[in-house]
Structure 1
Amino acid sequence: MNAILAVNHFLKSEKFDELHNHIISSAKKLGVDMEIKTNQELIFSDEKPDFVLFWDKDVNAARLLEKRDIQVFNSASSIALCDDKAKTFLALKGCVPQPETIIAPLSFFETDYSEFVHLAAQKLGLPLVFKECFGSFGEQVFLCKTESEIISHINGKPFLLQKFIADSEGEDIRLEIVGGKCVGAMKRTNKNDFRSNITNGGTAVPYTPTNDEILLAQNACKRLGLTFGGVDILKGGYVCEVNSNAHIMNLMKVTGIDVAPMIIEHIIDELL
């Protein structure tokens, strides 16, 4: 069986190289001949592998591969739902509990959002969480104490405002789901930031999730159509974020659980 690991052409760092090389090594041990190709390379490629493990957020590139009748994991539609926090919220609304969220209305030019911000602040209370709809590792996410602080972060990009779950400040749990099963979890804590992300200085320890937490993560991944995904849950049982290509090396370093071969094995089982 041959496969491609799709990665971003412009995103290069030691952290990503470590992840990509580990996935390739895991595939080799399972008898899968997998090579790394960037999203740019795939646009011009006429290769037709047995499957593509799409570890990027280039939804259009993923859709292009699907149009060539190539099996892509996760699917382009699932990646699109996870990459846009507004789409994630709407897809999961009524399916799993989430922090109360207000998506900013679309504007086609630079505009004054002060009225919207005032109405949202009245409804959600202050402080509240400002999130750009696109971003990773807790970037473009801010805890805002005033309306003027909210406005200062508006820069023409799509955004949403979210109720601050104070009980979960600097703390969440990450559950990894593969093929509908929870294969590992960790609890993340950051004493110096309201965001728990390890990239922002957070630390993590192994965690045994409750049945309710597992069910939340399973339901979220199922609704989003994910073959595999990382689900972040806040105190109180609120799903905060779902990742279509979470940085699984952190989970492995914290818990010793290697998710990469589990993902590849599940894909092989689906294809056979």
Structure 2
Amino acid sequence: MNLSGWVIYNGYLRGNKFLDFAEWIQQAASKQQIDTKIYKNSELLGLLTTESIHLLGIGSDKLPDFVVFADKDIYLAKQLELLGIPVFNSSETIAISDDKIASYQLLALNQLPVPKTVVAPKSFHKTVENPIDDYHKAIDALGFPMIVKEAFGSFGEQVHLVDTEDELAEKIGQLQNHPFMLQEFIASSYGKDIRLHVVGDKVVAAMSRHAESDFRTNVTAGGTMQAYRPASMEKELAVRAAKVIGADFAGVDLLSGSDNSPLICEINSNAHIRNMFDCTGINVADFIIRYIRHKFK
């Protein structure tokens, strides 16, 4: 079966990380005789009318068999789905992955291990008085230090470690009109975690990440990485986590609890794959394209 695909990334983001991901997917598809085109999300404008749904400038005869969606523009992803195009990952999966609160709610509902988490009450605007008094039960439940994590964010930039009630009050004051959560601090995993890349029902690659002077391990922020051989329990947990949010493929980050049991830190539906290749020599893009081809058999 001759397949054609699109790979879509966000054209407004600085740097080449997202284009790089798209190009790796395109190269993997080419190796498997699948023609793909790369588009910026800004090149595919969704048109809604009383009569129909379209993409401006794209005729129905030019639509692809599938899309690999390397972005978080869920409205565009949904538009493509409404046109009947299979999207990997789906708009719903991307939306859940992008919203860390929604992710944790689904993980907890399915009784998967996560850090103890308190969801901050929604505030539509900043109040004159700092609402720290609303958080005393959360402080009692979590203690200090604790993590303050915004629902939306990437590369660890929206994750904060606070040590005192005064620091928490300051952070709450800054975040009042943003969705965020409070989490117990997993001291046993300070500056270390593991990233497992799941495709379908398998963990296809894994690495450990370390940071010398930061509780966050993001390689973008200076963390180092090393190839890792995950235990069976870690692989099973990563696959289950990806399944819970409906992901065809995902990067699942695990922390190490005080008893060395794994805890789910995050599920990334658009995890970059170059670092994994540089660390392990495994090209996750090849597995993604094989998985998509198999879906069409």
TM range (shorter): over 0.9
- Secondary structure of 1:110's partner? coil
* Counterpart residue number, 2:6: 4
Percent same amino acid among aligned pairs? 44
Aligned amino acid, residue 69 of structure 1? G
**How far apart are residue 40 of structure 1 and its match?**
2.2
CA distance in 1, matches of 2:17, 2:247: 24
CA distance in 1, matches of 2:104, 2:134: 19
Q: Deviations over 1:69-89 (max 9, x none)?
A: 111000111111110000000
> Are 1:69 and 2:89 matched, yes or no?
no
CA distance in 2, matches of 1:59, 1:17: 18
* Counterpart residue number, 1:58: 73
* Counterpart residue number, 2:30: 28
**How far apart are residue 33 of structure 1 and its match?**
1.1
- Are the equivalent residues in 2 in contact too, given 1:118–1:147 (CA < 8 A)? no
Match of 2:202 among 181, 190, 198: 181
**How far apart are residue 36 of structure 1 and its match?**
1.1
Q: Which runs of 5 or more structure 2 residues have no equivalent in the other structure?
A: 47-54
CA distance in 2, matches of 1:81, 1:95: 17
Aligned amino acid, residue 84 of structure 2? D
CA distance in 2, matches of 1:263, 1:67: 23
Q: Deviations over 1:129-150 (max 9, x none)?
A: 0111000111110111112222
- Secondary structure of 1:205's partner? strand
Q: Which runs of 5 or more structure 1 residues have no equivalent in the other structure?
A: none
- Are the equivalent residues in 2 in contact too, given 1:117–1:147 (CA < 8 A)? no
CA distance in 2, matches of 1:12, 1:33: 27
Shift >4 Å, 4+ stretches: none
Equivalent pairs counted in the alignment come to 272
More displaced stretch, 48-57 vs 103-112: 103-112
Task: Calculate the TM-score normalised by the size of structure 2.
Answer: 0.88
CA distance in 2, matches of 1:251, 1:157: 32
CA distance in 2, matches of 1:158, 1:260: 33
Task: Give the greater-gyration-radius structure (CA).
Answer: 2
CA distance in 1, matches of 2:98, 2:114: 17
Q: Deviations over 1:2-55 (max 9, x none)?
A: 111111120131333332222211111111111111222222433421000000
> Are 1:258 and 2:260 matched, yes or no?
no
Task: Calculate the TM-score normalised by the size of structure 1.
Answer: 0.96
